[in-house]
Structure 1
């Protein structure tokens, strides 16, 4: 039983859905809360888990729908986003089935473009700071012997608007006089979205055969607030203010542990994440870049004692910048408007988790 628990603890660390925009489709740096800390979800009563998750991507390939506009890179007009982020997570097991989680992201972003700087010179805008904090809890559906072969958890959380959703930077060649001006940065590198969101998620792992496991997880974040009041600096009136969109992600795959190299595991799966055209609750007006990404996701993990390291590298297979509400509103029978977005080829996602066992009283220290 101890061996199974150890294998599951390693495998669950692969079930992280950390930020996932991978480009101008502005999916924020957070995840379904049940998956924010991986190994921590397998804690026993009274145990803690502290983890940090680093991610990086470079987006530069422009898509309109599923069609890539390769000329953007060829003629040097592409928008390039470099995004770095670290999620700091703490979880605690109230008992073998109920856990609580707090997660806070830290971000550093760069955005290089021509069109935002008079279309004559390439310049870079920046944003850095804390993102939107999440707090929540989860519940494992099975316990005891019933969970020997696997388990599924459901979670519920709240995302708070702690990240700056009106971050500014210097833009060059602005107006007829071509001056430098401080304005709000693009939605894709804003640190937060300005809304209080409700997160529902699930995760699970089941033993298929021997040291092979099937894992799955996903989340949906409801953002009822329609717009956050932050100007986009865009010309169209209905795109003047930033939208506060919903977000979703789902993953599944197979994990294998190696008995001869204790603590080592590899995984291979698929994932899909995105921003819907319309929110499930509340209005959907304002500017957003809806779309989704389908990726293949290889991963590797290693556990030494109570510390586990994991590296996942999702590689994009399909990228789709869907038509937004404002695109539809601005279209006519003779002129269909369909905005574009820049996507990354891959995402680097590295996690370290430290499991803090509960101290067991002994006859000596109980005196």
Structure 2
């Protein structure tokens, strides 16, 4: 069987919507938009030499449910003091097959975000801040560990990439009732809606698939973003809310992570479905670098159903993960404040109930026929 036919056979059997690489599945305001840098869906990475896959992933969520630890604070919604984030993001990507097993990809993300709150505008009236534009570009390479022709029923790919600080990490808007004598003032928007984080990052990722029965595949994958830079110099103005928040005056550049797994089923040659789980978030401490500055650590466990359509070189997929467990743990600055004041301290974060992921892609297969040099010589005679 030709390698290229194997690629398409695997693609048709394995669900084509691993846009679970999107980390903000439940929209914790601690977690900005991010996806891995070596292709957002499995079929993007099953390429023959010279194949090109282009596409886009759209993601939307509304975060508004506040948590401290794993405990929800429902009164925030009932008394209308909740923070409401609306996040729209588009990832435009191109993946290129270097060999049967080695591939490279670039992802260019754009975002449009809004944030409605009381506490950022003097606490007496609700106002909205906005951010939009290019986010942090990612580039990387990936490699399938096993020969695809000999291992059609299962394989494992490892990836390595870099995140470039191309997004604005000091996006600003007008905040009301916070300037001199209650006047409006231009300030940086909240960390959760900044298009960029201001740091060069390194991404480590993996993905796998394994046939478990006729028309059934297990799948999984994940990534970890290392952000060595400690803080980016952007002011939060949190110290103006309370003197005890002086240690949160500057934004941190936190790590992020995501892991997911599940089972997919092919209903037909064109329709697939899957059901899985994902766990993702922002850790309390980075693996490399310091941990000063303001961050909202948070993590979400989600159930992730999806459906996909694939015909010839075109694929369309939809995932709607919904949260079953949300956690906003104590941050480093929370612990510092608790030590300094002797009072318990655990900041809150707002999470969404669900996320909408829609992906579309098209493959340009390399169909060039390589002519044997000996045959070319025949034409020359």
Provide TM-score, normalisation by structure 1: 0.95
- Do the aligned residues in 2 keep the contact of 1:34 with 1:154 (CA within 8 Å)? no
| SS of the residue 2:354 aligns to | coil
For structure 1, the 5+ residue unaligned runs are none
Offset at 1:35?
4.0
Q: State the match for 2:311 in structure 1.
A: 304
Partner of 2:242: none
Aligned with 2:256 (options 244, 247, 258): 247
Task: Tell me if the contact between 1:101 and 1:136 (Cα under 8 Å) persists in the aligned partners.
Answer: yes
* Structure 2 residue 315 is matched with structure 1 residue 313: no
User: 1:209: Cα distance to partner?
Assistant: 0.7
| Partner residue of 1:98 out of 97, 102, 105 | 102
Asked if structure 2 preserves the Cα contact closer than 8 Å seen for 1:15 and 1:38, the reply is yes
1:117-196 counterparts in 2 under 5 A? 117-175=121-179, 177-196=181-200
- Say which of 9, 15, 36 aligns to 2:11: 9
- Which position in structure 2 is the counterpart of 1:218? 222
2:38 and 2:95 in contact (8 A); partners too: no
Output one character per residue of 1:257-298: Cα deviation in whole Å (capped at 9) or x when no partner. Answer: 123xx2100000000001110100000100000010000000
Aligned Cα RMSD in Å?
1.7
> What is the CA–CA distance in structure 1 between the aligned matches of 2:234 and 2:15, rounded to whole Å?
38
Paired residue for 1:331, among 300, 325, 338? Answer: 338
Does the 8 A contact of 1:23 with 1:341 survive in 2?
A: no
Hey, what does 1:279 align to over in structure 2? 286
Spell out, residue by residue over 1:295-322, the C-alpha distance to the aligned partner (whole angstroms, 9 max, x if none): 0000000012211000001100000001
Answer yes or no: is the 8 Å Cα contact 2:106–2:140 preserved in 1: yes
- Per the TM alignment, residue 360 of structure 1 is displaced from its structure 2 partner at its CA by 2.7
Query: Larger Rg: 1 or 2?
Result: 2
The separation in 1 between residues aligned to 2:370 and 2:345, in whole angstroms, is 71
In 1, Cα distance between equivalents of 2:355 and 2:259: 16
Whether contact under 8 Å (2:15, 2:272) holds in the other structure is no
* Secondary structure of residue in 1 paired with 2:77: helix
How far is the alpha carbon of 1:32 from its aligned partner? 2.2
Aligned mate of 1:295, from 288, 299, 302? 302
Q: Distance in 2 between matches of 1:24 and 1:206?
A: 31
1:71 paired residue number: 75
Which of 91, 97, 111 is the equivalent residue of 1:107?
A: 111
Which residue of structure 1 lines up, in the alignment, with residue 270 of structure 2? 263
The one of 347, 352, 356 equivalent to 1:348 is: 356
Query: Structure 1 residue 178: deviation in Å?
Result: 1.4
Distance 1:238 1:107 in 2: 29
Helix, strand or coil at the partner of 1:193: coil
Deviation of 1:359 after TM superposition, in Å, equals 2.3
Q: Once the 2 structures are TM-superposed, how far is the Cα of residue 37 of structure 1 from its aligned partner?
A: 4.5
- CA–CA distance in structure 1, aligned partners of residues 234 and 285 of structure 2: 19
Q: Hey, what's the Cα distance between the residues in 2 that align with 1:127 and 1:311?
A: 26
- Separation of aligned partners in 2, 1:21 and 1:191: 17
Does the 8 A contact of 1:14 with 1:310 survive in 2? yes
Q: Distance in 2 between matches of 1:211 and 1:37?
A: 19
Output the CA distance in 1 between the equivalents of 2:77 and 2:116: 13
Between the two proteins, the alignment pairs up a number of residues equal to 363
Q: Tell me, what secondary structure is at the counterpart of 2:291?
A: coil
Describe how 1:53-64 pairs up with structure 2 within 5 A: 53-64=57-68
For the residues of structure 2 that align with 1:65 and 1:293, how far apart are their CA atoms?
Answer: 11
Would the aligned equivalents of 2:303 and 2:322 in 1 still touch at CA under 8 Å? yes
Unmatched runs of 5 consecutive residues or more in structure 2:
240-244
